[in-house]
Chains A and B, each alone.
Chain A
Amino acid sequence: MAENAAKSAQGAGENIRVLLAKVGLDGHDRGVKVVARALRDAGMDVVYSGLHRTPEEVVAAAVQEDVDVLGVSILSGAHMTVFPRVMKALDEHDAEDIIVAGGGVIPDDDVARLTEMGVQKILLQDTPPDEIVNAFRQLVAERGPR
């Protein structure tokens, strides 16, 4: 009986944890809320940071929440300033196992540079919500258990 309960409890461990963050002077949060809702509807636990965070705050929160994916939404054009600081802060927390994804309005050239920097997925502003759900699931599956 106990073994059975334990087994089924293991099956419950599929919940993916995500922190969605808005960083800097960027008040456009409609998109991030739509994404939060889509991830929630896909069964994920989504922590939302609220507006106007610093990269360091966002990473500290991601570490405490021990999320699988840190998703940073940027529509202000400051991505080339924000993401290097996010990656540096993750490194300082010894938290490179947290997957970083970026979303918003980002030019193609910058996408390549961000990918090089270690941002594992960039989802541009026209990405359908289902695609974001699938991308997150795939990223977590590829990383494997930790």
Chain B
Amino acid sequence: MCLGIPGQIVSITDPEKLLAKVDVSGIKREINIACIVSDGHPVAACVSDWVLVHVGFAMSRIDEEEAARTLQILEELGEVELELDAMKLSVESK
């Protein structure tokens, strides 16, 4: 019910009604972009935005840097775990 799906805005279809066309995995449909438009991010700037689509509305612009940062944290956690494993092994083998 509360799920959303990432899509990329390909064009503005009705700047007055704040409607745009979004591409979700090759499926294109018209969505409402009222929730991602602001003074600092006008309608025209929305083209090529990655957004979270929920029941026909773009609900949030996806922050690529934050997505990368989250994955980076997990990457680093993996490295720490490997190091801990190596340390544990070396202690056990003594």
A, B assembled together = no
**B interface residues (Cβ-Cβ under 8 A, vs A):** none
